[in-house]
Amino acid sequence: MFELFQVSRKFGVFPALEDITFNIMAGERVAVVGPSGAGKSTLIRLLNGTLFSTTGEVRVLGQRLDQLSPQALRQVQSRVGTVYQQFHLVDNLRVVHNLNAGHLNRWSLTKSLVSLIRPMDVQGAFNALEQVGIPEKLYERTDRLSGGQQQRVAIARVLIQDPEAILADEPISNLDPELSKEVIDILVDLSVCSGKTLFCSLHAIEFALSNFGRIIGLRRGRILFDSAAENVTDEMIKSVYRG
Amino acid sequence: MQKTLGSIAVDTTQEVPQRPAFINRRMMWLVIFIGGVIWALWESGIFQNKMVNTGGLALGGRFLSASLNPDLSGEFLLLTLNATLTTLAFAVIGLFLSVIVGFFGGVVVSETWIKSYTIARGDQELPILVRGLWLGLRWILVVFRSIHEVIWALVFVAIVGLDPLSAILALAIPFSAIIAKVFSEIIDEANHEPLYALLNSGISPSKAFLYGLFPLTFTDMLSYSFYRFECAIRAAAVLGIVGVGGLGYQIFLSLQTLKFPQIWTLLFALFLLNGLADLWSSLLRRRLGGDIRCGGSCVDVEAVHASQTSADPIYQDRVVRLSIIFAALLVPLSFWYLSPDIGKLFSARTIQNMVVVGQSAFPPNFTVFSLNEWIDLSKITIAMSLLAVAFAGISGLIFSFPAANNFLLSGGIFAAGSQNGTSQFLGTTVLVLTRGILLVLRSIPAPIWALLLLFVIFPGVIPGALALGIYTLGVLGRLVAEVIENLDERPLTALKSQGASRAGVFTYGALPPTYPRFISYLMYRWEEIIRATVIVGLVGAGGLGRSLTELLSSFDYQAVFAVLIVFIGITFIVDMISSSTRKTLRQS
């Protein structure tokens, strides 16, 4: 699904990621952990094609993203869904439209436009919302929802997009512990039920250990460890977070 | 029904919620607006009469081709320079006075000030007289605001004569009223905790304002003052048409004698002056972190707050500091250049004129027109403004996106995915071109536009509406482009990263957050357009404005006063509709 070989990314002279190499198979659930500034978000952006590596190869679904035409890149991107830390929804749209944005790479322009006036595929949007537990919010304005509810809308949008892999960039860092657990449960469950690959960056190690099969430890742009969850020791965790 | 994910328990027998009614309050406004525009088109006679004056096409062509050889003789260049400096000086002094008056006016008419006094008096009700005075002052500001600069100029020319003083006062009065309104809104929207803390410890309201409130509102006020500078330049150019000098006056003269090469020299000077003013103001406002407010008599306080996040005080920023010094130098220089005869304001002759004009205006004479005539004139004025709004609205939507620097350039909302040189070059070209066009459109005063349009269109509502619409497009396009440049990028990134097409990113990510701001700016501009129907009326575009000119030239001041009263009434109605539309937009 995702193959990275000796990937580095610099912002100016600052190296955000250095010499990253790993493979993620279809259906795997991987958490990448590390302190703020470790390069987790940069890594996610390399995987969804909103950023290209400075050196090295990034392959998604077998294709090198930096060598694709814009058209082909969009094809690949439509098969990878992303959930963000700050939800990235359009505030003043109704929930149903934010959900239908997940259809955009399938719908024609006319259909997209008509749907903004008279929502289409309401049933699909409702089903997706039902799966994340807030079906009654279908026609609510998005900025009227709480943070936890907005994150569920963002996940439901990915459900509608129906990608083969889901990237989640610190999906719970703006939520309280209770909600965090629910959101992680939804993501993991989604991956288990549908066999979708899940690649999730997390600040908190506890959620990673209990929910993901494989953990990658990132610190200052380098991989410190990449191992099965049961083999992760306190020593390894300390090495990632030490001051 | 599908199963739910995660550990949430949910009643899966729930029904799909009912689709919200298609006809909501927003829809209602839209239908009313479309109906209004159709009515206005009917009223304008576009269906009944011939519009295009084919006989004038040759003249129009000659005008356009003259743009390639403007009059560059030394003598005329000197005249142009003088006219440019005059316009600049009008704007500087007019604005300088307005900011001072507007500042004190804004403090006094703010709710916060009245409340502070109540607190300082130990929560005792203020005497009725004070309250009455306060309300009266607010109303006076509304009236001052709703009369256009040009009308003020005509009044002052009658009183003081063709002196720079007339232009300065004509600019300063409505501008003071607008600035006072905006400053009072800034004060009322600020965080009041520090102020109340000081008041409750027994400090007098003035001192409490000084320490507890002004530091919070200073950036917003400074930012807005510099935005008004752009408006002041444009207003100063319009004032020329009543004969008080400056670029507008010279263009008007050259137009009457059809000296096209001269007109172009003057127009280029106008573009340059406006371009520099806009550049300075937008650079500075970006430094101040303040969002822009719409032009005219308005402020969008809810959507707008200067970010006070930077750790350093803003006056330590070099650009800000230099700008303040430069502005402080401009004021005495402008006074020196114009050397207005301030003593004249208090001379016996002026006072005598004032008494004469005042006496001859009272009482207002409404019988000059029959009721039907009044209704017809008002209908034409409203129709003209509606058509102008429709034109500026539709074309503004098309122009403002390409004029935003985050639209076509690489990484922009509508940028082609590949980042090759050609598409970048194309993007830059479109950006510079649309911005240039918008600058030209707003630099030329609306009455000049009307006169130019009269080359090829028969006089009537349509050229007036077009002139106002074209000018408004120039202002609106730029304001909305700045809104687009400040859009939240995150939803756009999310849509791009899921592989949505450019059109998809645009319609689902960029359009929805832009259009409420767009419509509220458009509504604010409508208030401005209604005021400005008077000045295109001056060049014969019909409606109340035209009657006003005719009555003014026959010195029938009683009838002029009556027309002004009706006009202010219409302005009030438009203000009310505009503010309730904006309210609906905010709520749904």
Instruction: Return the pLDDT at B329.
Output: 92
CB distance from A210 to chain B under 8 Å?
Answer: no
Contacts of A77 in chain B (CB under 8 A): 496-499
pLDDT digits (tens, 9 = 90+) for B268-294: 999 999 999 888 888 887 777 644 443
Whether B174 has a pLDDT exceeding 90, the answer reads yes
Q: Is residue B445 part of a domain?
A: yes
| Domain's final residue, options B482, B507, B529 | B529
| Domain's final residue, options B476, B503, B529 | B529
Map residue B76 onto helix, strand or coil: helix
Instruction: Return the pLDDT at B306.
Output: 37
What is the average pLDDT score of chain B? 83
> In sequence order, which ranges of A78-146 are alpha helices (DSSP H)?
95-100, 109-117, 122-131
pLDDT digits (tens, 9 = 90+) for B200-240: 877 888 888 888 888 888 888 888 888 889 889 989 998 88
Long-range contacts at B463-466 (CB < 8 A, ≥ 24 apart): B463/B536, B463/B541, B464/B384, B464/B388, B464/B533, B464/B536, B464/B537, B464/B541, B464/B542, B464/B543, B464/B545, B465/B40, B465/B44, B465/B383, B465/B384, B465/B385, B465/B387, B465/B388, B465/B391, B465/B541, B466/B387, B466/B388, B466/B391
Q: Is residue B175 part of a domain?
A: yes
Q: Cα–Cα distances in Å, from B400 out to B162, B291, B410, B433, B490?
A: 39, 17, 18, 12, 21
Whether B415 has a pLDDT exceeding 80, the answer reads no
Q: How would you write B268-300 as a 3-class SS string?
A: HHHHHHHHHHHHHHHHHHHHHCCCCCCCCCCCC
Lowest mean pLDDT among B6-15, B151-160, B202-211: B6-15
Whether B544 has a pLDDT exceeding 50, the answer reads yes
Lowest mean pLDDT among B25-39, B271-285, B303-317, B356-370: B303-317
Half-sphere exposure in the Cβ direction for B340 (13 Å, CA):
25
Instruction: Return the pLDDT at B1.
Output: 41
- Interface list for A 24-83 with B (CB within 8 A): 45, 48-50, 69-71, 73-82
Q: Is residue B504 part of a domain?
A: yes
- ipTM here: 0.79
User: Using CA atoms in the order B343, B344, B347, B352, what is the torsion angle rounded to 10 degrees?
Assistant: -160
Q: Is residue B378 part of a domain?
A: no
CA-derived radius of gyration, chain B: 26
Alpha-carbon distance B516 to nearest alpha carbon in chain A (angstroms): 9
Nearest to B567 by CA among B336, B312, B334, B366: B366
Q: Is residue B14 part of a domain?
A: no
pLDDT, greater one: B416 or B271: B271
pLDDT digits (tens, 9 = 90+) for B304-352: 333 333 444 555 678 888 888 888 899 999 989 888 877 777 888 888 8
Does residue B229 sit in the same domain as residue B326? yes
Identify the closest residue of chain B to A105 by CA–CA distance: B500
Does residue B310 sit in the same domain as residue B410? no
| Domain's final residue, options B340, B368, B384 | B340
Judge contact between B409 and B415, C-beta under 8 A.
yes
Q: How would you write B382-427 as a 3-class SS string?
A: HHHHHHHHHHHHHHHHHHHCCCCCCCCCCCCCCCCCCCCHHHHHHH
Signed CA dihedral, B461, B464, B466, B472: sign only: negative
Q: Is residue B279 part of a domain?
A: yes
Across the interface, do A135 and B10 touch by the CB < 8 Å criterion?
Answer: yes
pLDDT digits (tens, 9 = 90+) for B425-470: 888 888 899 999 999 999 988 888 888 888 888 888 888 899 999 9
Whether B13 has a pLDDT exceeding 70, the answer reads no
Query: Which pair of tokens denotes residue B371?
Result: 């009721």
For range B521-528, the mean pLDDT: 87
pLDDT digits (tens, 9 = 90+) for B87-130: 999 999 999 999 999 999 999 999 888 888 888 877 777 788 88
C-alpha to C-alpha distance for B459 and B56, rounded to whole angstroms: 12
- Count of beta carbons in the 10 Å neighbourhood of residue B337: 17
Does residue B327 sit in the same domain as residue B209? yes
Query: What percent of chain B has pLDDT above 90?
Result: 20
Q: State the residue for tokens 């099965």.
A: A228
Does residue B335 sit in the same domain as residue B408? no
The DSSP bridge pattern shows strands A63-64 and A55-60 to be antiparallel
pLDDT, greater one: B413 or B1: B413
C-alpha to C-alpha distance for A58 and A8, rounded to whole angstroms: 10
Q: pLDDT band at residue B154, thresholds of 50, 70 and 90?
A: confident
CB distance from A130 to chain B under 8 Å?
Answer: yes
Q: Is residue B27 part of a domain?
A: no
Does residue B189 sit in the same domain as residue B332? yes
Query: Which pair of tokens denotes residue B353?
Result: 């004129």
pLDDT < 70 positions in chain A: 243
Does residue B211 sit in the same domain as residue B313? yes
Whether B417 has a pLDDT exceeding 60, the answer reads no
Q: State the residue for tokens 């009706």.
A: B566
User: How big is chain B, counted in residues?
Assistant: 588
Does residue B305 sit in the same domain as residue B416? no
Identify the closest residue of chain B to A90 by CA–CA distance: B491
Q: pLDDT band at residue B77, thresholds of 50, 70 and 90?
A: very high
Question: Nearest CB to A78: which of B488, B499, B507?
Answer: B499
Q: pLDDT band at residue B406, thresholds of 50, 70 and 90?
A: confident
Number of structural domains in chain B = 2
Does residue B399 sit in the same domain as residue B336? no
Does residue B422 sit in the same domain as residue B500? yes
Q: Cα–Cα distances in Å, from A231 out to A24, A217, A223, A225, A240?
A: 18, 13, 16, 10, 15
What are the structural domains, with CATH classification, of chain A?
1-79+165-243 (3.40.50.300), 89-162 (no CATH)
Q: Cα–Cα distances in Å, from B244 out to A107, B60, B350?
A: 60, 27, 17
Query: Which pair of tokens denotes residue B528?
Result: 């401005």
Does residue B97 sit in the same domain as residue B199? yes
Does residue B260 sit in the same domain as residue B409? no
Whether B188 has a pLDDT exceeding 90, the answer reads no
Q: For residue B409, what are the domain limits?
A: 392-529
What CATH number is attached to the domain comprising B298? 1.10.3720.10
Instruction: Return the pLDDT at A161.
Output: 85
Q: Is residue B357 part of a domain?
A: no
Does residue B436 sit in the same domain as residue B297? no
Judge contact between B533 and B381, C-beta under 8 A.
yes
Across the interface, do A88 and B490 touch by the CB < 8 Å criterion?
Answer: yes
